[in-house]
Amino acid sequence: METRVFSITRAEEGERLDRFIVRVVPQISRSLAARWIEQTSEGWGGIWVNGKTSRPSYRLRGGDEVTIQIPPPEPTTLQPEEIPLTILYEDEELLVINKAQGMVVHPAPGTPHGTLVNAVLAHTDELSDAGGDERPGIVHRLDKDTSGLLVVAKTDRALRQLQAQLQARQMERRYLAVVWGTPKFDEAIVDAPIGRHPVDRKKMAVIEDTRHKAREARTELKVLRRFGSLFTLLEAKLQTGRTHQIRVHCAYIHHPVVGDPVYGGERHLPQKEVAFDIRKRLEGLLERLPGQALHAYSLAFVHPVTGEPLCFQADPPEPMQALITALEEIFVPMGKAK
């Protein structure tokens, strides 16, 4: 891994860190420089200012020492791969896909193959490259272990118009989430800024300390079912689209998404509150979950060319649906579900 160290002169004072990186490493784009800065971690590479992680917008000061560790190269050519896709809609402008749990959306360090982009390229060679060579056609993303609906643009005009809808909060994205515990609210808006965790840079967190970078994040939550005091089925509607937003916000209100290994969703059932046979049944279903019980079940937007309103829905993957079905069978007859 190549390491470069720069001492900032007075002439360079006030320059944004991401712009400085592009200037001294001209073969990379500004968006890639920002990603290096935000994903900085030992063993992978990244950017440090005076030995500490920083943010793309940081203004350099005279005497600062900037250390750049060039991360391992990403694949320069995306390869089509014959991977099954569940396509709900397709025309000349876009596709709507029900992404499988466990599938990464686009190649990144450590995941050069097997992504949704690789699969889509095998399905069609007509994808917009306006968003960059690394993420052709990608309008928005889902976490690897979050299943559900997303839209992919085939043309540049579709990509630009769909991204404009997303930024204007005109694209409606709704999720189903099984969370631990029972919230006190029936409906709520979690309004809490999210940024990269100040210590564990691989995680996101609600950031209330203004010394650390964070962006506005708002999630609408609605209780659909309560399963005793153990679990709740929530509908989550995104008003913003931050990395891991629903998972972080649910953990922040002390109701983490079931099965989430990063944000406290891997818990054990209480022995005293649940009968032995029910506990064993639920434990088996929890073990079958390949990740967090979070599914993007509804997606609505306006067609970027025709102006037609489009709305799509998709059921959760089988392990998550099996858990919900079992909870309904167990708790609804007991009168404990809402």
CA 165 distance to own-chain centroid: 18
Q: Which residue has the tokens 């204007």?
A: 168
Question: Which of these is catalytic: 18, 143, 145, 260?
Answer: 143
Q: Which helix (H) or strand (E) holds 328?
A: helix 318-331
Cα 326–Cα 324–Cα 96 angle in degrees, nearest 5: 145
DSSP class of residue 301? E
Q: Which helix (H) or strand (E) holds 189?
A: strand 187-191
CA-CA distance, 114 to 116, in Å (whole number)? 7
Active site residue 200: no
CA-CA distance, 192 to 63, in Å (whole number)? 35
Helical H segments across the chain, by residue range: 17-24, 30-38, 116-123, 156-167, 245-252, 276-288, 318-331
With CA atoms as reference, report the closest residue to 281 among 272, 292, 269.
269
Please list the active-site residues. 143
